[in-house]
């Protein structure tokens, strides 16, 4: 039985589409279809029912799925065991989202250099979907991305960044430190969003108001949004990491909004299964250390 056929079966079930599975596997759709047909011949049963553009597992497919997942996992563990014995790479290719690249990566790279002085590092900054594609294609070794699910990767939560409202020091809400969403409905708002699902939660909070918020500026860059607040052009919801230095200096003041409490951006560390285990362990040990991550990196 061909492991690639089993891989195609697991991916199609996960993504619910032959085309999406083909994209992730960097194969043509006919190739993926041929792999499933080959697997169905070997098993002497149909694995998928096709209803228009939708596909569903047959009863036989449902029965076979846990075994296929176990086979694929066992194969990946074996591959991991073999690759873990390889020598360290001369160059480590790291991908990261813009916020990680701007605010975390300089300190992470310095920590990696201290731990692995023989390795050179190459950084690529891009959106999460692009980084995932580059990792699948072997163009990256690991990446820091927004929270995602993909069976091709091993994924670890790495950093959770609270989203809070930030105002300038002499704003009327600065001294209170807390407000409700209704109290800011007439404020001039700068709205930054990075495409993460977490920002949809901010949008939904505003939808509860009887009138739309006064969003004057919509930007896709946290630095631009932050500078507009510093210039007193408006107030803005921002990830805490990007405003950390300004908050410590007193030039930005966080205001807790009751309705958005708990909203945060999660950064995950992803890699192909079995790759660069020593480096991953170092990064995860750093994250799980009793010393706070940012203090460790800055200290």
Q: What is the CATH code of the structural domain delimited by 91-159+265-298? A: 3.40.190.10
- Looking at residue 286, its pLDDT comes to 74
- Looking at residue 270, its pLDDT comes to 93
Give the CATH architecture of domain 3-83.
Orthogonal Bundle (1.10)
- Looking at residue 215, its pLDDT comes to 85
Alpha-carbon gap, residue 299 to 287, rounded angstroms: 15
Alpha-carbon gap, residue 24 to 31, rounded angstroms: 13
Alpha-carbon gap, residue 220 to 205, rounded angstroms: 20
DSSP character string of 135-204: HHTTS-SEEEEES---TTEEEEEEEEEEEEEEE-TTSTTTTT-EE-GGGGTTS-EEEE--S-HHHHHHHH
Stretch(es) of the chain classified as CATH 3.40.190.10? 91-159+265-298, 160-264
DSSP classification of residue 89: P
Residue with tokens 């940012």: 294
Number of Cβ within a 10 Å radius of residue 50: 10
- Looking at residue 10, its pLDDT comes to 93
Residue from 199, 197, 181 nearest 259 by CA: 181
- Looking at residue 39, its pLDDT comes to 94
- One pLDDT digit (tens) per residue for the chain, 299 residues: 789 999 999 999 988 899 888 888 888 999 999 999 999 999 999 999 988 778 999 999 999 999 999 998 888 777 766 655 455 678 999 999 988 898 889 889 998 999 889 899 999 999 888 999 999 888 999 999 988 777 778 888 898 888 899 999 999 999 988 998 888 888 999 988 665 555 667 777 777 777 778 889 988 888 999 999 999 999 999 988 889 999 999 999 999 998 888 888 889 999 987 778 888 888 888 776 534 454 434 34
- Looking at residue 290, its pLDDT comes to 35
Stretch(es) of the chain classified as CATH 1.10.10.10? 3-83
CA angle 13, 14, 16 (to 5 degrees): 60
Q: What is the CATH code of the structural domain delimited by 160-264? A: 3.40.190.10
């Amino acid at each position: 039985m061909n492991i690639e056929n089993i891989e195609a079966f697991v991916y199609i079930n996960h993504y619910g589409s032959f085309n999406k599975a083909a994209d992730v596997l960097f194969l043509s759709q006919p190739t993926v279809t041929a792999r499933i047909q080959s697997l169905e011949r070997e098993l002497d049963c149909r694995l998928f029912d096709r209803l228009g553009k939708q596909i569903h597992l047959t009863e036989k497919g449902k029965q076979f799925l846990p075994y296929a997942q176990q086979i694929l996992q066992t194969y990946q563990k074996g591959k991991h065991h073999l690759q873990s014995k390889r020598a360290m790479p001369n160059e480590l290719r790291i991908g990261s989202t813009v916020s990680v690249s701007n605010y975390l990566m300089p300190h992470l790279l310095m920590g990696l250099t201290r731990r692995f002085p023989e390795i050179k590092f190459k950084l690529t900054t891009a959106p999460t979907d692009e980084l995932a594609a580059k990792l699948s294609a072997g163009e990256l070794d690991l990446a820091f991305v927004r929270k995602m699910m993909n069976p091709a990767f091993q994924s670890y939560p790495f950093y959770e960044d609270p989203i809070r409202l930030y105002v300038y020091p002499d704003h009327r809400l600065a001294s209170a430190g807390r407000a409700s969403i209704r109290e800011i409905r007439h404020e001039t708002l700068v709205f930054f969003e990075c495409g993460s699902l977490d920002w949809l939660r901010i949008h939904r909070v505003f939808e509860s108001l009887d009138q739309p918020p006064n969003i004057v500026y919509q930007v896709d860059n946290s630095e631009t949004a932050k500078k507009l607040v510093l210039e007193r052009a408006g107030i803005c919801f921002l990830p805490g990491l990007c405003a950390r230095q300004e908050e410590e200096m007193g030039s930005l003041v966080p205001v807790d909004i009751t309705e958005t409490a708990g909203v945060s951006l999660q950064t995950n560390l992803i890699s192909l299964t079995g790759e660069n285990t020593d480096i991953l362990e170092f990064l995860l040990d750093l994250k799980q250390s009793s010393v706070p991550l940012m203090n460790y990196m800055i200290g």
